[in-house]
Structures are given as structure tokens and as C-alpha cells.
Amino acid sequence: MKITAISSYLQNLPLTKPYTIAYKVTADTEIVFLEITLENGVTGIGAANPFADVVGETPAQTLTNLQSGYLDTFIGKDIREFNSLIDKASEQFPKQPGTLAAIDIALHDLFGKYLGISVLNFYGRKKESLLTSVTIGIKGWKEMLEEADGYYQLGFRILKIKTGIDVEADIERVNKLSERYQGKMKIRVDANQGYTLEDLKKFNQQTRQLNLELIEQPLQSGQEKILQELPETDRKRLVADESLLDASSAWQLSNLPQPYGVYNIKLMKSGGIKGAKEIALIANNAGIDLFWGCNDESIISITAALHAAYSCSNTKYLDLDGSFDLAKDLVEGGFQVKDGFLYPNELPGLGFTKIP
């Protein structure tokens, strides 16, 4: 079955509420959408919104790449060659993971629809449904508790709070959360590269009794060697995010002594499902657990990450809440959320439908 039409466009989608992380405040998100259609009229949809601060690519650059004329070479190609098409796109757009993610996701969705099976079933399910965390931006502890209470009432049982501006205030925040929930909510923190090593040591020392689940990217990318000053038990719960971009960085970080015990895989860093699974294989061979994260994303790419996550045996953590705060999206379906668990619907492709 041959590809006959391709189109791409950018949408600026507002969030239901702005949030703050260690280096910026976000109130909306730009997402690039890609549609690829077969001669029988079936269409696969991809989406991307890379963070320039992390991968050096903006959504505007993604759109420019997709509209550069290169994708015209896909016209007339058989969808059964989707893996080859992804490889060729990787050669055309090196170090452009947003562009690759849009192409990869659209082709996976289209190939699954062509076969009549879900992407997850194509790769083989390795994990049952997992709880996702929900994220709270940097704010005062009273506001944080109010927002956390709302999530608890909705059935979520894992919180990820953004930290990294003031370590003393961060220590107070996690202590207040622990006092409020008394073990009924797991707590993860994400410093977004905001700590020094001394900050991290202080944070670890003064929160050790709280049994925090994970600490994500505490130090600046490139400072991995100094993390080796920490005991292995502390490094085991550290999550590589900005330090982990692709298979190459995954390989480097896997060498002993490992600075991180967990890898945060985002399709906007890996360039889609295929790149993500390459990272997952390296991590599996190195005994490193997987944490699947996201930006503020469409249901399209969140669903793609969910299918990839459940197809990897070393997946342990989900942080796939990126579509929850979008005030609008272009598709619906893909997965269901129940009491904090994410359930892919396993319809053909990625299982979402475009909203008319």
C-alpha cells in the first residue's frame, strides 16, 4: 500500500494553567502535526514539540524541515518500508529529534492501521498498565498542597514536583507533602538541572527519611562525573533527563560507575519510537530502569510513548501527563486514565481519532 499524500502544520495550544520550572514559565505550547495518507485513504498522524533548551530544535524548525520538500520522496513508497523510511529520515535530519519524532510517530500509526493492529501489539506487550505521575510546577507549599489535593481526589497517587530554584524551599515542600499524605502518595522531584552538588547533598540528607521515589536531573548536563561522589544507593534513584538525548549518550552514561540508575526517555529527545527503543535496549543491557517522560504534548505523542513504554521489559516508571493540561487537542482517544493508571485502547495504530 503506497503513500499518496503528506501534510504538516503548526498549532499553538494553550494550557489550562501556566507552570514554573527551574529555568522558565510556560503558559502554552507549540505543536507540529504531520499527516501521511495511503492510497486507500487511511491516514497516520504524528506530532512533535521539541524543547530548544534541551535538543537545540524549535517547533518552527521542525515545521520547516517537514515542509522542506524532503518528505515528497515518501510519495509512492510502500508503508511496509516504514522502518527504512525512518532510517533515511534520520540521515537527512541528524540532531533534529522533533522532526524525526513527527515522522516516526506518523509512520508507526499508519503502519499499525495498515496491518489492523496496535503499535503495542506489533512490538509485543512486556508490561502491564502502570501508574503515571502528575506534575506540579514550582510554587509556594500552600498552593502546592492545594493542587496536590485536587490530583489526589482525581485518583492519582504519584506526584512529581518541580524544584531547583531554592533548595531550602524544596526541602520544605517535600516535607509538607509527606506530612499531608503519610505514604498515600509517592513523591518524585525534578530539579531541571537547578542544583549544585552541595545542594543535592543537602537535599538528600534532609529528606532521606521521606523515602522519595526519584530525583530527576539534579545537576547540569555535563556534570555527570561529580555525581560519582555520591554513594551508589543515592545514584540509583537519580534520573537522567537533559543528560540523556539519544542512543549515543545512553551508551556513555551506561559505563561504570553509572551516574544515574534510571533513564528518562522522551520521544522528543530520542526522535520517536525507534530511537526510544534503541535507548531502552542499551539501558536493559546495563541494568538501568526506564522512566518515560514528556513535554506538554498532544495525545498523539503521549500515546506513542505509552506504546513504546509497555513494549519494554525494563520500564518501571511513567510520567506521561503531558496532554492532561492542554486546553484543546486535535485528536481524542489513544488511552484511558483510571485512578492514575494509563490504559492504551489497543485499536489499530496508536488508537486515536482526529476531532472533526
- Tens of pLDDT, residue by residue over 158-212, are 999 999 999 999 999 999 999 999 999 999 999 999 999 999 999 999 999 999 9
Task: Give the end of a domain, one of 65, 84, 117.
Answer: 117
Give the tens place of pLDDT for each residue, 130-140. Answer: 999 999 999 99
pLDDT tens digits, 321-342: 999 989 999 999 999 999 999 9
**163 lies in the same domain as 294:** yes
- Report how far Cα 256 is from the mean position of its chain's Cα atoms: 25
What are residue 45's phi and psi, to 5 degrees? Answer: -125, 135
Residues 137, 94 share a domain = no
The model's pTM is 0.96
Chain length of the chain: 356
Residue 260 has pLDDT above 90, yes or no: yes
My answer on whether 72 and 184 are in the same domain is no
Phi, psi of 324 (to 5 degrees): -65, -35
Which H, E and C letters describe the chain, residue by residue? CEEEEEEEEEEEEEEEEEEEECCEEEEEEEEEEEEEEECCCCEEEEEECCCHHHHCCCHHHHHHHHCCCHHHHHCCCEHHHHHHHHHHHHHHCCCCHHHHHHHHHHHHHHHHHHHCCEHHHHHCCCCCCCEECEEECCCCHHHHHHHHHHHHHCCCCEEEEECCCCHHHHHHHHHHHHHHHCCCCEEEEECCCCCCHHHHHHHHHHHHHHCCCEEECCCCCCCHHHHHHCCHHHHCCEEECCCCCCHHHHHHHHCCCCCCCEEEECHHHHCCHHHHHHHHHHHHHCCCEEEECCCCCCHHHHHHHHHHHHCCCCEEEECCCCCCCECCCCEEECEEEECCEEEECCCCECCEEECC
In this predicted model, what pLDDT tens digit does every residue of 85-128 receive, in sequence order? 999 999 999 999 999 999 999 999 999 999 999 999 999 999 99
Domain interval for residue 24: 3-117
Across the chain, what does the average pLDDT equal? 95
Bond before 259 cis per omega within 30 degrees: no
Residue 20's pLDDT is 64
The total number of structural domains in the chain stands at 2
- Give the per-residue pLDDT at 347: 97
95-107 pLDDT, tens digit per residue, is 999 999 999 999 9
Q: Are 133 and 108 members of one domain?
A: no
Q: What is the pLDDT of residue 24?
A: 60
Is there a single domain that holds both residue 81 and residue 132?
no
Q: Are residues 92 and 157 in the same domain?
A: no
Residue 25: CATH number of its domain: 3.30.390.10
Identify the domain boundary among 82, 117, 152: 117
- Of the three residues 68, 90, 117, the one that is the final residue of a domain is 117
pLDDT over 60 (residue 275): yes
Q: Domain containing 182 — which CATH number? A: 3.20.20.120
Pair 127, 95 in one domain:
no
